[in-house]
Structure formats: C-alpha cells, structure tokens
Amino acid sequence: MRKTVDALGWVFVSLTMLTLIFTVLSTYIYVRQITYFNSYNTLQICIVITMITWAIKMNIDKKERSENRMCSVVCTLIAAGAMVFIYLGVF
C-alpha cells in the first residue's frame, strides 16, 4: 500500500508538471492543437489530485517524521483551495 501511494504520488507530480508545461505553451499560443490546456481548469484538477495523493502519502508516513502531519494538512488545504477556485470558475 505504501509503495503504491508513493508511486502514484510521483506519477501525479509528473502529470502535473506536464500539464503545467502544456498550459503555458497553449496560453501563449505556441501550441494551438491542444485545446484542453487553453484554460487553467486542467491544471487545477491535476493540482487537486496531486495534493490529495500527497496528503495521503504524508499521512501514511507520519510515523517516520513528525512534520509529515503538518505537510499533510498543508496539502489538504491547497487541494481544498484549488477546488474552491474550480467551483467558483476562477481560471
């Protein structure tokens, strides 16, 4: 379980980085073929998924380091903030 969550965390970090790159390229009209990345909605969804995955990972690893509990709370707050922005339609 622990290795699976760890691997998923890094997969979602990589996916979020690629989404960020494509969003920047698409926003500044360097790439016009990819229409999913014309707004920041896809990036916000990837950030929410990544932060939830990392919050779970930090919660599992809280026995190893004491500051993992605080990191878990911060990741959850970032995910909640991104969800609020998605709900409000702020791109």
Residues of the chain with pLDDT under 70: 31-32, 62, 91
Of 42, 19, 17, 37, the residue nearest 27 (C-alpha): 37
Give the predicted TM-score (pTM) of the model.
0.83
DSSP state at residue 33: S
pLDDT at residue number 90:
78
Report domain extents, the chain.
2-88
pLDDT at residue number 12:
95
pLDDT at residue number 15:
95
pLDDT at residue number 41:
86
pLDDT at residue number 91:
66
- One-letter identity of residue 37: F
For residue 38, count other CB atoms closer than 10 A to its CB. Answer: 14
